[in-house]
Chain A
Amino acid sequence: MSDALNGVWVIPETASLTDELLGAATTLADALNLPVASIHVGDAEATEEMVFEYGADAVLIVEGEHISEGVPQTQAQAVAQAATTYEPHAILTSATPKGSELAGVLAQHLETGCVNEVVAFDPTEGQLDRVIFGGKAISQVSVDDTPWVLTIEKGVFAPPERAQPDGETVTLDVDVSPPQKSVVEFEPFEGEVDLSRADVIVSVGRGLEEQDDLSLIQELVDALQQSHPDLTVELGCSRPICDDLDWVPEERQVGLSGTIVAPQLYIAIGISGAIQHVTGIRDAEVVVAINTDQSAPIFKSADYGIVGDLYEVVPQLTKHVQR
C-alpha cells in the first residue's frame, strides 16, 4: 500500500485551489511515472472524494493532537514526520500565504530545497521555473535532494479531467509539539471582491488628485458593467492609493503586494507603472493606459495608450461607453 505514498504529494489548503494543485501534481507525477497522494492535515477543506476524482491514487490522513488548530508550523511538523516515514519525491501546496509559510517551515525541517510560486517544470531534468525581478525574468531552479518542496502558482496549471474516484485511504498518527501560537479569530475580507476573477478591471493610481474624484472612475466601472452585463467589472487601484492614502480598501489593490490579476481588459488610469504593479497585470489580455506623462513606464506595459489628462479622458470615455 505504501507504494502509492512515495510519489508526488499535494497538501490541499482550500477546496477552490485543489483542482489546479492536482493538475500540477498529476503532470509532474506522470512525467516521473510516480503515484499521486493527497495529504490531509487537520481540517482539510478538500474531501477524499474530491481529490480521488482529480486523480489522486491515495489519501493520507495525518492525525494527532494539536494539528487541527490551524497553525501552519504545526502542520509542517506533522507533514515532515509523514514524509520521513514514506519518503515522497515531491511535496506540493498552493502558493497562498499559508501555503508558503507551511512550505518554508517544512523544507527547513526536512533540510531540503523549497521553490515557491512554480509556474512550469521540466520533471525529468528536475528544473522548476519561477518568475523573478518583477516579471522581467524566469529563474530556473533545481532542488538537490528529494523531497522537493514546491508551492504552485495560482491560475497556471489546468485542473485534471475528472475521473471515477479510485484509491485507498491511509491514516498516520503523528506526534507533534503543541503550537507556539494560537489563532484568536478570523476576519474574512469584507464584501466579495475577488479581483483575480474579474473580467474587466478599471484601476486608478496617483494621478487622481482627491478621494472624491474616485466617483469619476466608479462611473466608468458602472457604465462598463451596465453595457457588459455578462462580465464582472471591478474597480482596482495601485499601491499608493491603498497603502499611503487609504482611499480604497486593500482588497482592491492590484500588484505583487495586492492581487495578481488576469482580466480580459485592464484599464490603468493615472498609474505610473511601478514594477510591482505591472508584475500584477502580466496576465491581462489587453492593457489600456491613460496618463498625462508620456514617459510613464505604464505605456511600455500597455497595448493601447492615451496620453492625456484623466479628468478629461475618463468622463468622455464613460459617455462613449454609455452610448
Chain B
Amino acid sequence: MPIKTAVCVKNAIDPSEIMVDEGDTDIDLDFVPTKMSDYDDRAIETALQIRDEFGGEVTGLTVGTDEANTTLRETLAYEVDDVILIEDPVFEGKHPTVTANALAGAVSSLADIDLIICGAMSEDTYTKQVPARLSALLDWPLFANVTELEVTETTVTARQDVGEGIEVTSGSLPAVVSVQYEINKPRYISRRQMLQVPRNAGTQWTFSDVGIADQGEGLADSQVTKMRPLFTERKNVTIEKETDEAITELWTHLSEEGVVE
C-alpha cells in the first residue's frame, strides 16, 4: 500500500548573511538572502526514501511568500510530486502558531496524508514549535528529533534523540515526525536539475484554501516586539609567527587569562 507524505519546508533567513556592526541597535533584514532551512533537505530525503520503498506521493508544503520560490524549486528538483505554497501575507511564514494552523489545514485539505515530516528546527529562529503544534491540532502522535525512522504501511518506529540518550518509540500512522540532521544524507541534486524546474511550478494556496481565512490574525498568540544584535566580545588576536613562537605567545596569553597553568 502506498504512503502519502507531506514534507514541510521553510524558506529561512540565512543567518550567516546577517551583518551586524558594533553599536547597531537593531537588525536589518532587508536584502538578507533566504534559503531552504538546513534540516529540511533531510526531511525531504526521509520522505523520498519512504516513497522509494512503498510507492505513494510526496507533497512539499511551505507557508510564506513568493520569496520562497527558490526553496520551492529546490524541493521540486528532488522530484517530489508537488509543492504547495500557502501564502501568508501577514506573518510571511514567520509565526509558528499561524504556520502550524496553515499546515494542519493544508494536510486536512489534501486528505489521506499518512505522514508529515518536518525538520527538527529551522535554521533562522529555531522556535521548534511547528511539529508539536501540528500534532496537537491534528491529534496525531508526534515523533520528535528522530535520528532513525522505520515505517510500515500502518506503523512508525522511531529512534528519538531525547538529549541523554535515544528513546525508541512506536505508534501507528497517521503521524507527525521531526527529523534530526544526522538521520540521512540527502541525495545529490545538480544545478541542472534545479534549473530544469519551471519558474512557476508548484501550486499556490491562500488561507481560504486551508480553512483558516476567517481566523485571520487572531491565530497569532505571541508577537516579536523587537530584535536586537547580540555581540559576543572576542579579542580577535591573530598570531602570525613561526609555529614555535606562535605557540609560546598563545600560551602566555592563555596563562594571563588564567585558563591554563
B161 adjacent to A97 (CB under 8 Å): yes
Interface 9-residue window, one of B82-90, B168-176, B193-201: B168-176
**A76-B136, A305-B236, A320-B247 are contacts. A137–B27 as well, Cβ < 8 Å?**
yes
A132 adjacent to B125 (CB under 8 Å): yes
* Cα A313 to Cα B239 with chains together (Å): 12
Interface flag for B216 (CB, 8 Å): no
B128 adjacent to A243 (CB under 8 Å): no
Q: Tell me which residues from 126 to 179 in chain A have a Cβ below 8 Å from any Cβ of chain B.
A: 127, 131-145, 179
Interface flag for A183 (CB, 8 Å): yes
Interface flag for B251 (CB, 8 Å): yes
0/1 per residue, B1-36, Cβ < 8 Å to A?
000000000000101101010000001000000000
What is the CB-to-nearest-CB distance from B252 to chain A, in angstroms, rounded to a whole number?
10
B234: chain A residues within 8 A (beta carbon): 287, 300-303
A306 adjacent to B15 (CB under 8 Å): no
Interface flag for B144 (CB, 8 Å): yes
Main secondary structure of the interface of A (DSSP, over half): mixed
Contact of A116 among B127, B228, B237 (CB under 8 A): B127
A320 adjacent to B248 (CB under 8 Å): yes
Interface 9-residue window, one of A3-11, A33-41, A106-114: A106-114
Q: How large is the interface on A (under 10, 10 to 19, 20 to 34, 35 or more residues)?
A: 35 or more
Q: Tell me which residues from 62 to 89 in chain B have a Cβ below 8 Å from any Cβ of chain A.
A: none
0/1 per residue, A248-275, Cβ < 8 Å to B?
0010000011000000110000000011
* Cα A183 to Cα B156 with chains together (Å): 12
A116 adjacent to B170 (CB under 8 Å): no
Contact of B18 among A137, A179, A182, A186 (CB under 8 A): A137
* Cα A137 to Cα B160 with chains together (Å): 29
Interface flag for A47 (CB, 8 Å): no
Contact of A316 among B15, B239, B244, B254 (CB under 8 A): B244
Main secondary structure of the interface of B (DSSP, over half): mixed
Interface flag for B222 (CB, 8 Å): yes
What is the CB-to-nearest-CB distance from B238 to chain A, in angstroms, rounded to a whole number?
4
B136 adjacent to A304 (CB under 8 Å): no
A317 adjacent to B247 (CB under 8 Å): yes
**A286-B254, A313-B246 are contacts. A250–B182 as well, Cβ < 8 Å?**
yes
* Cα A109 to Cα B93 with chains together (Å): 21
Q: Tell me which residues from 7 to 66 in chain A have a Cβ below 8 Å from any Cβ of chain B.
A: 14
B141 adjacent to A136 (CB under 8 Å): no
* Cα A243 to Cα B194 with chains together (Å): 25
B136: chain A residues within 8 A (beta carbon): 73, 76, 104-105, 108-109
A-B residue pairs in contact (CB < 8 Å), sample of 21: A73-B141, A113-B222, A114-B129, A114-B221, A117-B126, A137-B228, A140-B224, A140-B225, A179-B141, A180-B140, A181-B170, A187-B166, A188-B165, A189-B165, A227-B260, A243-B181, A304-B238, A304-B254, A306-B238, A306-B247, A316-B244
Instruction: With A113-B221, A114-B129, A181-B170 given, name 10 new contacts (CB 8 A).
Output: A107-B221, A108-B97, A139-B226, A188-B164, A200-B259, A275-B15, A282-B232, A286-B259, A305-B238, A306-B250
